[in-house]
Amino acid sequence: MTTGTQALTDTQTQALLLKLTVLADDEIVVAHRNGEWTGHAPILEEDIALANIAQDELGHAGLYLTLAQNLGGSDPDQVAFWRGPDDYLNTRLVELPKGDWAFTMIRQFLYDTYEALWLEAATRSTYAPLAEIAAKAAREEKFHLQHTALWAERLALGTPESERRTQAALTELWPHAAQLFQPTHGEAELTAAGILPDLNAVHVRWTDLVTRHLTEKCGLTLPATPDAQPGRDTHTEHLAPLLEEMQSVAREYPTAEVW
């Protein structure tokens, strides 16, 4: 655990606000996609599991956005419910439609591995409030990763049909996953100051872990990683309807205090 809270410069504060928003946006959007399985998952236990995971991810978004608010950012509810697709900075990986069960599980496995490794590294942040959040969230993320790693295996080694779907999901999702490791504006300076984890180092660990699991254990084939990725401000056509649904209650009752 870090000893104290160092004072951030204005530049660092702005860069950290951006990074916290980016982290929260991925969590909110992936939580919504998981929530879409409520009442539709293949078995009751998985319906419950995805609802649990979605709750945790929203909890993490709440932690990031509350920290951002303490740094001078907006109210977390405002950030989540009153920004449109042009302002959301989530990756395309998390906004793609939920697809079939294999698609959902492979996406969540790729995302959980990234999140677990990033959080584990962030527990060593020199900025104590971030280190605290990471220590909290990393403990929860472990359960997500155990769950989705097992599902990837179960589906890949299941029937020819489940293997076909799992490989198809991986082939479609893999090119988008690299976007998780795009640094945000000013991130390099925060990393140099020890405030944020080294994203490249996290990427190396991520690639190693997911490659071993998906290829050696699950027998899947990894497609090529594209050389370039569009920025986080470039979305697919799927984000707008997602936000429209997610924000509908807030926008219909803008003055409501309890939803």
Partner 1 sequence: MEEHTSSTINLQPSTVWAALASVPDPEIPVVSITDMGMVRDVTVSDAGRVTVTFTPTFSGCPALHVIRDSIEQAVRDLGVTDIEVKSTLTPPWTTDWIGDDARERLRQYGIAPPAPTGEGQLIQLDAEPTRCPRCGSLNVRMTASFGPTLCKRMYVCDACREPFEGFKSL
Closer residue to partner 1 in complex, CB, 19/60? 60
- The verdict on 1 binding partner 1 (CB under 8 A) reads yes
Neighbours of 255 (CB within 10 A): 4
- The verdict on 57 binding partner 1 (CB under 8 A) reads yes
# binding residues, partner 1 (CB under 8 A): 35
Q: Name which position in 13, 14, 52, 247 contacts partner 1 (CB under 8 A).
A: 52
Instruction: Tell me the one-letter amino acid at 250.
Output: A
Q: What DSSP letter does each residue of the chain carry, written as one string? A: --S-BPPPPHHHHHHHHHHHHHHHHHHHHHHHHHHTTTTTSSSHHHHHHHHHHHHHHHHHHHHHHHHHHHTT---HHHHHHS--TTT----HHHHS---SHHHHHHHHHHHHHHHHHHHHHHTT-SBHHHHHHHHHHHHHHHHHHHHHHHHHHHHHTS-HHHHHHHHHHHHHHHHHHGGGGPPPTTHHHHHHTTSS--HHHHHHHHHHHHHIIIIIIT-----PPPS----TT---TTHHHHHHHHTHHHHHSTT-S--
Closer residue to partner 1 in complex, CB, 8/135? 135
Q: Print the binding letters for residues 62-81 with partner 1: x by CB under 8 A, - otherwise.
A: xx------------------
CB of 160 to partner 1, least distance (A): 25
CB of 120 to partner 1, least distance (A): 6
Q: Print the binding letters for residues 122-161 with partner 1: x by CB under 8 A, - otherwise.
A: ------x---xx-xxxxxx-xx-xxx-xx-----------
- Segment contacting partner 1 by CB under 8 A, of 44-52, 157-165, 188-196, 234-242: 44-52
> How far apart are the C-alpha atoms of 213 and 27, rounded to whole Å?
23
CB of 51 to partner 1, least distance (A): 8
Interface with partner 1 in residues 191-220 (CB under 8 A): none
- Segment contacting partner 1 by CB under 8 A, of 14-22, 51-59, 85-93, 190-198: 51-59
Closer residue to partner 1 in complex, CB, 40/139? 139
The closest alpha carbon to 21, from 65, 75, 55, belongs to 65
Q: Name which position in 10, 45, 216, 257 contacts partner 1 (CB under 8 A).
A: 45
The closest alpha carbon to 116, from 145, 90, 136, belongs to 145
Q: Print the binding letters for residues 99-118 with partner 1: x by CB under 8 A, - otherwise.
A: -----------------xx-
Write out the residues near partner 1 by the rule CB under 8 A. 1, 45-46, 48-49, 51-53, 55-60, 62-63, 116-117, 120, 128, 132-133, 135-140, 142-143, 145-147, 149-150
